[in-house]
Structure 1
Amino acid sequence: MDKVKALERLKRKLTVENLWLYVIRVLLDSPSPMRAYDVRKQIKSRFNINPPAITVYTVVYRMNREGLIARVTGGDETYYKVTEKGVEAFNQGLKFLEETLRALGGLK
């Protein structure tokens, strides 16, 4: 069966193009701050999403500038953790997705 282009676009929009949701989920589940490299590995293993490394780093840097995550330095490494603003944005994002599913008849 041929791939449906609309479905492929939807999958990309809900994964790679909204990577910030996955970054926050991974960081929230981690007991300690993580390097961007490790965030990328977790996204790949947990969600079966394989975004280019540059995409992950770009998203992480933007999230940091936006205040969704905070940079924590430890020795020569840079780590990231979720901020209160990031948790709030994540919860609002999940709520929006739930409302969208409900409106489309996917959730009761």
Structure 2
Amino acid sequence: MKQGKDSKAMERLRTALTTGNMWLCVLSLCEQQKKIYAYGLREDIEKKWGWKPSMIMSYLVLYKIEKDGLIKSEFEERRKYYTITPRGKEELKKAKGYLASLSKGL
């Protein structure tokens, strides 16, 4: 293995923890910034967590978690903004607790 290159196992872990859990990043950003919009979401994730999801993935995650009632959307000046709901805050809190206990167990 070349130095600096991740193993396949690390690549799978990174994918599972980033792309597979992008909804957590979205909820966290909504909680911190109060409102977000899809186009800026990709740059915000890259700045904060060091990876940039595809535009399609961003819209897909926003659609799914809005459908689940974790965020809500409204239009303001030609942009669709998303905000976290009380249910979204509760799910984010649960997820953070779960990840903390999982990490502690490792």
Determine if the TM-score, normalized by the shorter chain, exceeds 0.5: yes
Alpha-carbon distance between aligned partners in 1 of 2:100 and 2:47, rounded to the nearest angstrom: 24
Amino acid of the structure 1 residue aligned with 2:69: G
Alpha-carbon distance between aligned partners in 1 of 2:50 and 2:10, rounded to the nearest angstrom: 17
Alpha-carbon distance between aligned partners in 2 of 1:99 and 1:33, rounded to the nearest angstrom: 29
**Structure 2: unaligned runs, 5 residues or longer:** none
**Structure 1: unaligned runs, 5 residues or longer:** none
Alpha-carbon distance between aligned partners in 1 of 2:73 and 2:93, rounded to the nearest angstrom: 21
What are the Cα deviations for residues 12-35 of structure 1, in whole angstroms up to 9, with x where unaligned?
1011111001111111111x4221
Query: Among residues 87, 90, 106, which one is paired with 2:89 in the alignment?
Result: 87
CA RMSD between the two structures: 1.2
**TM-score, normalisation: structure 1:** 0.88
Aligned runs of 1:1-108 on 2, under 5 Å? 1=3, 2-30=5-33, 32-104=34-106
Alpha-carbon distance between aligned partners in 1 of 2:103 and 2:48, rounded to the nearest angstrom: 22
Q: Report the identity percentage.
A: 29
Alpha-carbon distance between aligned partners in 1 of 2:48 and 2:6, rounded to the nearest angstrom: 24
**TM-score, normalisation: structure 2:** 0.90
Range with bigger deviation, 3-12 or 59-68: 3-12
Shift of 1:75: 3.2
